């Protein structure tokens, strides 16, 4: 086995490991309430409420230490200013201190997403894709909470998840190097119009789903409170989205660019695929969760 083959195997294993970590981390987030309940049981609700804020402060201190240890430009610490402002605004608007845990949760989410994406991503725009994926997974998190007993679906948490992802991205800007390349990959998207159209179709449907779920939450059930046409929208998107994934040649595998002389797709094409597949898969999960909830007749709060 050559060193090059061995390197490819390691990269492939790392890719699978990191994306599996993203999936498992997303799935486990709604269940962290178990940790909170354990702290309340063994200590007190007051102590449990202080844990999220303590984690946020510790993460800020660790960030400063890492910046100094890596001998980064001292100006990097300036990034703590917008991070602190965002965190302060979120804390000011949310009276429940237990909700502050969303901030470190989605800072970590952005870090994991960056590591997973950076394996294959080449070019500009990775931080924007990290934010889009992190914020979208924050919505998935809320939909999951609406299904679980004792948990609730809420717009405040969605905003907090998205804002916390911004904090995570800012820390990444300070600590990590942007993958080499430019915006050439955008040209590859022109050859993926069908896949982009289906993704936009799913995005529009997801926005309508999110709004309609508040009406379902008010009634506690989908019966009579969730429009049938929107369910049909989700079904149609789920079918077409899966078709896109199962038949990549027809949807998101554009021709190689002119400067691609190897047997593998160019870096630009791979990056373009990430921009299509990552949001598409998250949207499929989102619509699929709603359909599963309706099919099983579960309560939604």
User: Residue 126 and residue 114: Cα distance in Å, rounded?
Assistant: 8
Q: Assess if residue 8 is contained within a domain.
A: no
Query: Does residue 1 fall inside a structural domain?
Result: no
Cα Dmax for the chain: 64
Q: What is the pLDDT of residue 256?
A: 57
Average pLDDT of the residues in 220-236: 91
70 and 138 co-located in one domain? yes
- With helix as H, strand as E and coil as C, how does 73-96 read? CHHHHHHHHHHHHHHHHHHHHCCC
Query: Same structural domain for residues 24 and 160?
Result: yes
Domain shared by 49 and 165, yes or no: yes
Q: CA angle at residue 40 from 39 to 45, to 5 degrees?
A: 120
Instruction: Indicate the pLDDT class of residue 261, thresholds 50, 70 and 90.
Output: very low
Is residue 2 one of the residues assigned to a domain?
Answer: no
Pick from 128-132, 230-234, 295-299: least confident: 295-299
Is residue 282 within a helix (H) or strand (E), and if so which, with residue range?
helix 267-296
Q: Which of 180, 208, 231 is the last residue of a domain?
A: 180
Span 274-300, average pLDDT: 92
Question: Which range marks the domain in which residue 301 is found?
Answer: 183-257+264-301
Is residue 7 one of the residues assigned to a domain? Answer: no
Tokens 């309609």 — which residue?
212
> Among 62-76, 158-172, 201-215, 268-282, which stretch is predicted with the lowest mean pLDDT?
62-76
Average pLDDT over residues 283-296: 93
Per residue in 145-194, pLDDT (tens digit) is: 988 887 888 899 999 999 999 999 999 998 888 888 888 888 888 888 89
Q: How is residue 136 written in tokens?
A: 């979208």
Half-sphere exposure in the Cβ direction for 234 (13 Å, CA)? 24
| pLDDT of amino acid 255 | 62
Rounded distance between C-alpha atoms, residue 279 and residue 176, angstroms: 23
Dihedral angle over CA of 205, 101, 145, 274, nearest 10:
40
Tell whether 215 and 121 lie within a shared domain: no
Instruction: Determine the average pLDDT of the residues in 223-248.
Output: 93
Which tokens belong to 83? Answer: 């991070």
Same domain membership, residue 17 and residue 155: yes
pLDDT of residue 264: 44
Per residue in 116-125, pLDDT (tens digit) is: 999 999 999 9
The model's confidence at residue 260, banded by pLDDT at 50, 70 and 90, is very low
Do 143 and 24 reside in the same domain of the chain? yes
Q: Is the pLDDT assigned to residue 257 strictly greater than 80?
A: no
Is residue 254's pLDDT more than 70? no
How many separate domains does the chain show? Answer: 2
Has residue 103 got a pLDDT over 50? yes
Percent of the chain with pLDDT over 70: 95
Confidence of residue 262 (pLDDT cuts 50, 70, 90): very low
CA distance linking residue 136 with residue 279, whole number of Å: 8
Position 130 in a domain:
yes
Q: 64 with 120, same domain?
A: yes
Q: Is residue 252 predicted with pLDDT exceeding 80?
A: no
Q: What is the pLDDT of residue 7?
A: 78
For residues 71 and 253, what is the distance between their CA atoms, to the nearest angstrom?
41
Domain edge (last residue) among 180, 214, 235: 180
The verdict on residue 163 lying in a domain is: yes
Mark whether 158 and 192 lie in a shared domain.
no
pLDDT band at 259 (very low <50, low <70, confident <90, very high): very low
User: What are the distances in angstroms from CA 23 to CA 81, 112, 142?
Assistant: 31, 10, 15
Q: How far apart are CA 163 and CA 181, in angstroms?
A: 27
Q: From 180, 207, 231, give the residue that closes a domain.
A: 180
Residue 265 has a pLDDT of 53
Eight-state DSSP code of residue 119: T
Mean pLDDT value of segment 69-94: 89
The secondary structure of residue 296, as a DSSP letter, is H
Q: Is residue 115 domain-shared with residue 230, that is, in the same domain?
A: no
Overall average pLDDT of the 11-35 stretch? 93
């Amino acid at each position: 086995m050559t060193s090059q083959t061995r390197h490819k195997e390691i990269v492939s294993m790392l890719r699978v490991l990191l994306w599996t970590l993203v999936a498992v981390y997303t799935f486990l987030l709604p269940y962290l309430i178990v940790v909170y309940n354990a702290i309340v049981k063994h200590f007190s609700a007051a102590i449990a409420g202080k844990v999220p804020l303590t984690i946020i402060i510790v993460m800020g201190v660790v960030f400063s230490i890492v910046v100094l240890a890596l001998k980064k430009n001292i100006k990097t610490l300036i990034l703590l200013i917008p991070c602190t402002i965002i965190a302060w605004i979120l804390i000011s608007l949310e009276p429940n201190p237990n909700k502050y845990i969303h901030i470190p949760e989605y800072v970590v989410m952005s870090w994991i997403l960056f590591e997973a994406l950076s394996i294959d991503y080449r070019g500009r725009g990775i931080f924007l894709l990290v934010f889009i994926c992190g914020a979208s997974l924050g919505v998935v998190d809320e939909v999951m909470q609406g299904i679980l007993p004792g948990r609730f679906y809420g717009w405040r948490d969605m905003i907090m998840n998205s804002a916390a992802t911004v904090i995570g991205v800012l820390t990444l800007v300070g600590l990590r190097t942007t993958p080499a390349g430019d915006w050439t990959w955008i040209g590859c998207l022109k050859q993926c119009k069908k896949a982009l159209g289906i993704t936009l179709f799913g995005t529009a449907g997801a926005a309508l789903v999110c709004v309609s779920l508040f009406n379902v939450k008010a009634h506690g059930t989908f019966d009579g409170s969730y429009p049938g046409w929107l369910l049909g929208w989700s079904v149609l998107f789920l079918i077409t989205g899966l078709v896109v994934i199962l038949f990549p040649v027809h949807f998101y595998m554009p021709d190689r660019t002119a400067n691609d002389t190897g047997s593998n797709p160019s870096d630009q094409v791979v990056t373009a695929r990430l921009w299509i597949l990552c949001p598409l898969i998250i949207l499929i999960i989102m619509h699929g969760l709603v359909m599963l909830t309706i099919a099983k007749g579960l309560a939604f709060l």
